[in-house]
Amino acid sequence: MCMCDSNLNQNTAFSYLEDIKTLFLETFSKNQIDMAIAYSFNDKFKDSINEKMIYYNTNLNESDSVSRLKKGVLEYKDNILQANDILMERGEKINLIVKKADNLKIESKNYYGSVNFFFIIFFNCIF
């Protein structure tokens, strides 16, 4: 259990508890934990708890920077997804432009063929 002021970020408190848990499990074996009597680890572990408490109270900015980093990564992910959507839309627009260009090419060939036919008939009538 961890008690803290309301101005302390909850993530900091949970990080502290997770760090204490990890340190406790690294320090004591499963057998020692199972056979322990209540409060028997106080003498052995209270200094570690105090060190971690001091660390987390003095390094509030570091835990905030981790949360800011996570937030930044999530924002970056959202930006990548938006950019991907924009690129897909752009690809669809490019495909539409290519189709229109192909249709224009076909129409221009048809127009060119009809103009040539018109000039052939026109010149045959004049001469």
| pLDDT for residue 67 | 65
pTM of the model: 0.45
Residue 110 pLDDT exceeds 70: yes
Residue with tokens 């406790």: 24
Per the CB < 8 A criterion, the answer to whether 16 and 74 are in contact is no
pLDDT in tens, 28-68: 888 888 888 887 888 888 888 888 888 887 876 665 666 67
Helix (H, G, I), strand (E, B), or coil: what is residue 7? coil
How many whole angstroms separate alpha carbon 39 and alpha carbon 29? 16
| pLDDT for residue 7 | 73
